[in-house]
Chains A and B, each alone.
Chain A
Amino acid sequence: MPDGEMNPRAALDPRVNTPGREGLTGTAPASRYSAIRDAEQISIPPDFRPADAQPAWRGDFPIDWPQDQYVERRDFMKFMVLTSFAFVVGQCWVAFESWWRARRAPAVGQRIASVDDLAIGAAIVFDYPAPHDNCVLVRVTAQEFVAYSQKCTHLSCAVIPRPEQGILHCPCHEGVFDLRSGRVLAGPPPRPLPRIALDIRGRDIFATGVESRTS
Chain B
Amino acid sequence: MALRRPFTRDQRMTVILGMLAFVVMLVLLQLWLLTATMNAYLGGDDSVVWPAAGASAFCFLLNVGLLRYLSRLERPTRESG
Q: List residues of A whose CB falls within 8 A of some B CB.
A: 36, 39-40, 66-67, 69-70, 73-74, 76-78, 80-81, 83-85, 87-88, 90-92, 94-95, 97-98, 101-102, 153, 190-191, 194, 211-215
Contact = CB atoms under 8 A, between A and B. Distances in A.
Contact of B56 (A67, A70, A91, A97): A91
Given A94-B41, A191-B42, A213-B44, A69 B13 contact: yes
Nearest to B53: A91
B12 A95 contact: no
Contacts of A77: 16, 19-20, 23, 66-67, 70
B20 A70 contact: no
B57 A88 contact: yes
Given A70-B16, A77-B67, A95-B50, A87 B44 contact: no
Given A70-B9, A87-B33, A214 B27 contact: no
29 contacts: A36-B2, A40-B8, A40-B9, A66-B9, A69-B13, A70-B16, A74-B70, A77-B16, A77-B66, A78-B67, A80-B24, A81-B63, A81-B66, A81-B67, A84-B59, A87-B31, A88-B30, A88-B56, A88-B57, A91-B37, A91-B52, A92-B53, A94-B41, A94-B49, A98-B46, A153-B42, A191-B42, A214-B43, A214-B45
